[in-house]
Structure 1
């Protein structure tokens, strides 16, 4: 249970040694669907692995009273990891999940020993009514989204993303998008720069240089382009993702 009302975060667990590895999905996703193949890759097996669904998503509860801010998501995830005995975990986190993971590491540092961020949101964005992702969802008022805006988003994002997005509570989807676009204070980028744990940022090679990469590198963040993939790196090129993630988690110079 991660809220005072008794709401539960759930996960799929793969057995192995501690410290745990925790996989965290993005907006409108679910960790088992996005990470099962790569979490079972020979380069990444052998460690206890939790494929966690954030509150409002996948197999976790979908409370309508929860505000779904990045901080609230991070605190709820902290409750879940504490209950699971997963302190000092290595977090592998995609997109919005990466934003949540950065906030978690800043607010609950004893829970996180390493971060692997997968094309994560680091900066606030501007809502855009024509977009299909978080900026498009955030362009609606909540009442508009619940009344039918979600159907327009469904049609824009297409069947692949909708196959997991449809499992997300509609209030959870809208509020998570609004808060993701708004970002954290300090921003996720500023929090990431200030962390002292090993940090790696994976991005699609085709997207070109990551904005602000020089400052990230100077602060000790490894910025790693991954070839032949789009935003969903672990799905588009699972072999390259597994190699890059395994390297980030086993670098003997990053302790």
Structure 2
């Protein structure tokens, strides 16, 4: 296991693949880098990319310090420090849910060739789980809300990662995510990013987000993963990765080997 020391915080990371391009994988709220484990089964990624798996502060195998503020900008700064440590000058990013906002801050601070945003939060309307946690209140969530949440997700692949975090991290992450979507104009900043962009929905969520029509009007490439909802990466990994392979194969971002 590899760890990067950031302000006395151990951040877990792993690099796989032999390609010349870098692909950074950023997970969402309550998740971990395990969500992307199936990517290593595809020769397209192992041959064309060095894939960087990161457990955000508070998640997976990374430390979960009480003194970290769990703002999305702080998470992005920690990722940027790791990226600099590894000598990465340009990259592609796949990010899911809350990770989409963190990835957006990264895109604003370094060269990113492409950003595949998987139901990343763009407006307050996108904050479903995070808003429900925030509205419970920190004390109530720590007292019993987190246990209730885990029980609801017990049958999902997401559950394993959820058990690797804690109530404090989940609440503070949710609070900061909701506040960012209220105040940081995420949607417009996403539109303005100077990088190739694709936005992915789970099929069951098509038409449920107010931003979808706006993204289409702005010419953002939109794809959906059939037979899946918000957790499309684990619900239908085959279609998820095949969709990304098709995107890269038909683009001018780089030439696949």
Q: TM-score, normalised by structure 2?
A: 0.86
2:154 equivalent among 147, 150, 158: 158
Alignment of 1:1-255 (within 5 A): 1=4, 3-4=6-7, 6-31=8-33, 33-46=34-47, 47-106=49-108, 108-110=109-111, 112-125=112-125, 133-160=129-156, 161-184=158-181, 185-209=183-207, 210-254=209-253
- Contact 1:200-1:223 at 8 Å conserved across structures: yes
Instruction: Show CA shifts across 1:32-87 (max 9, x none).
Output: x2111124313322111111111110011111111111111111111111112223
Instruction: Show CA shifts across 1:185-213 (max 9, x none).
Output: 43221211110100000102232235333
- Contact 1:137-1:153 at 8 Å conserved across structures: no
Distance 1:102 1:227, change over 3 A: same
Rounded Cα–Cα distance in structure 1 between residues aligned with 2:211 and 2:137 = 31
Rounded Cα–Cα distance in structure 2 between residues aligned with 1:85 and 1:101 = 18
Rounded Cα–Cα distance in structure 1 between residues aligned with 2:201 and 2:94 = 13
Rounded Cα–Cα distance in structure 2 between residues aligned with 1:240 and 1:126 = 23
- Long gaps (5+) in structure 1: none
Rounded Cα–Cα distance in structure 2 between residues aligned with 1:166 and 1:24 = 18
Structure 1 SS opposite 2:10: coil
Rounded Cα–Cα distance in structure 1 between residues aligned with 2:219 and 2:253 = 10
- Contact 1:233-1:241 at 8 Å conserved across structures: yes
- Contact 2:17-2:45 at 8 Å conserved across structures: no
1:125 positional shift: 4.5
> What do you get for the CA RMSD once the two structures are aligned?
2.2
Structure 1 SS opposite 2:136: coil
